[in-house]
A and B are shown apart, each in its own frame.
Chain A
């Protein structure tokens, strides 16, 4: 279709506004991370008084940032791996096999994915308290407890996403393998899994991102030792001052890896969505 002049003008105007809207907060984060504390503590300036890398050095000693980072990596990785393992098996069964109760089970997974974390936080907190009272295992404030709560959103999310990826794989592939005498399980392991690998990796990344940004459970169920980044960054703000420059520097450092990972696999999200429901 030809692009008329008025269309081009409108397009330029709309896209410029949206770009400005997207860039402004990103710019503020980046520029503030290179400012000295005195600069970010006063009125906002578009450029640093003095460009400095100090916040990137100082942030590690102002708060136990490395500890929070390690906690986040541990809790998010373990919960993602556990959820992904459970979900790959279930999603294969749900999307490529036929069995009684299949539809009911998909409905269960789908509906639990939609309930907010706050509905699970209260009862899980009480269950953890009771477990501690009865058998003495501490879950409130421990890694294990936090991992369990992260599973409440990662398991249904990963299952639902993977079902879409598995369903998009042509049946012929699997059938060809089975004609050759491979069992259903063998076809799953040797044919479906390798083909679905980019999708599985992508789902893993999205699940990881969800955990990386989790605030609700971590705000209640972590202690000084087990605090994750999402909650721990608040510590840059104390009663006397807010170290905005270090907070922004830390934000950038902990966001960059997940930004890169997201941009690398985002095509699969679109693909998964395009081959799934959006058609």
Chain B
């Protein structure tokens, strides 16, 4: 999913509250509130109320039978959380294993996307023929709907007839038995590869924009001091694009940690246990086993986790409120 962020430059905010703004503010101005009213209503209906309800159902006993009458479903306190969080039960151990697996998956995908995106952006930031063409080409995996890419990977990693086993087994003779890629432990590898392929151009795009903000003079000065390309990159470039990189990685963290489309298309409704991520697990609990209470409990835990991450993220992205305002 394409996600982005913007911050309004603090200096323009001050400019706007100049003399003209102050004069207007004396009247009670309803315009700003009228303009956000539709969005406020939408936020209430699609986000606030559902999120509150999502937390509420975590305390209910909901199964296939009681789901139609969920308003009168029995309140069971922390039972769902106890089931979800007790590592000695099947569900609890599944939850913790999935949490750990999703963390490993996220770190791998983020790391690979960053490496690919940074390498591509770094080299495309130099002058050579065909640069524009490569730039457009590298954006294609990002512009392609994720489900289409995932379909292609399911086809390529097919055990009997896929291109991957054809190359590995028939052409390079690296392995003798045709490995299964969509079931068993290899499924995790397939999941990471397909996810990286769809996501890395986002890192590339942001990194390219970030690199273009580093003025050439900086490199010229460094070259005069005798710093080679490597030293320039690690000593100057990386520190200068640190902030956009932190923002980029946080955005990608959220998208990756919550990945649903790639595993769903690759593996269907019940992914192999070795490749089950957090969002598909909640999906399975809720729409596979129709245990919405458990699904709600795990959702609530995820909500808390993401809230912590978001808080950190917002502190990094949002401009600090100036003293003397509001």
Q: Verify B137–A19 contact, CB threshold 8 A.
A: yes
Task: Using A210-B2, A269-B2, A272-B4 as known contacts, say yes or no to A120 and B32 having CB atoms under 8 A apart.
Answer: no
Q: Verify A126–B53 contact, CB threshold 8 A.
A: yes
Task: Using A98-B21, A103-B326, A263-B143 as known contacts, say yes or no to A89 and B306 having CB atoms under 8 A apart.
Answer: no
- How close is B40's CB to chain A, nearest CB, in angstroms? 7
- How close is A82's CB to chain B, nearest CB, in angstroms? 9
Mask of B107-150 contacts with A, CB within 8 angstroms, 1/0: 00000000010011001101110000010111111111111110
- How close is A6's CB to chain B, nearest CB, in angstroms? 9
Q: Which residue of B lies closest to A112 (CB)?
A: B47
Q: Verify B152–A251 contact, CB threshold 8 A.
A: yes
CA distance A65 to B279 in the complex (A): 28
CA distance A208 to B236 in the complex (A): 38
A-side interface mostly: helix
- B238 on the interface (CB 8 Å rule)? no
Which residues of A from 66 to 95 have beta carbons under 8 Å from B?
85-87, 89-90, 92-95
CA distance A34 to B251 in the complex (A): 38
* Chain A hits for B38, CB < 8 A: 85-86, 89-90
Task: Using A86-B39, A118-B282 as known contacts, say yes or no to A276 and B7 having CB atoms under 8 A apart.
Answer: yes
Mask of A111-124 contacts with B, CB within 8 angstroms, 1/0: 11111111111111
Q: Verify B264–A22 contact, CB threshold 8 A.
A: no
* Chain B hits for A25, CB < 8 A: 141, 149, 152-153, 156, 197
Q: Verify B287–A220 contact, CB threshold 8 A.
A: yes
- A42 on the interface (CB 8 Å rule)? yes
- Best-surrounded residue of B36, B160, B261, B265 (most CB of chain A within 10 A): B36
Q: Verify A155–B25 contact, CB threshold 8 A.
A: no
Q: Verify B7–A277 contact, CB threshold 8 A.
A: yes
Range, interface on chain A = 35 or more
Task: Using A216-B260, A248-B152, A269-B205 as known contacts, say yes or no to A274 and B143 having CB atoms under 8 A apart.
Answer: no
Q: Verify A19–B147 contact, CB threshold 8 A.
A: no
* Chain A hits for B209, CB < 8 A: 270, 273-274, 278
Kindly count the residue-residue contacts between A and B in the assembled complex, taking CB atoms under 8 Å apart: 334
Q: Verify A108–B143 contact, CB threshold 8 A.
A: no
Q: Verify A129–B70 contact, CB threshold 8 A.
A: yes
- How close is A175's CB to chain B, nearest CB, in angstroms? 7
- B86 on the interface (CB 8 Å rule)? no
Q: Which residue of B lies closest to A216 (CB)?
A: B260
Q: Verify A155–B144 contact, CB threshold 8 A.
A: no
Mask of A250-279 contacts with B, CB within 8 angstroms, 1/0: 010011001100110010011011111111
Q: Verify A118–B3 contact, CB threshold 8 A.
A: no
Q: Verify B247–A122 contact, CB threshold 8 A.
A: no
- How close is A18's CB to chain B, nearest CB, in angstroms? 5
List the one stretch of B74-82, B88-96, B296-304 in contact with chain A: B296-304
Q: Verify B36–A96 contact, CB threshold 8 A.
A: no
A-B contact pairs, 13 of them (CB 8 A): A1-B126, A89-B39, A97-B31, A98-B21, A103-B318, A155-B42, A157-B3, A184-B29, A215-B264, A230-B261, A254-B148, A269-B205, A277-B6
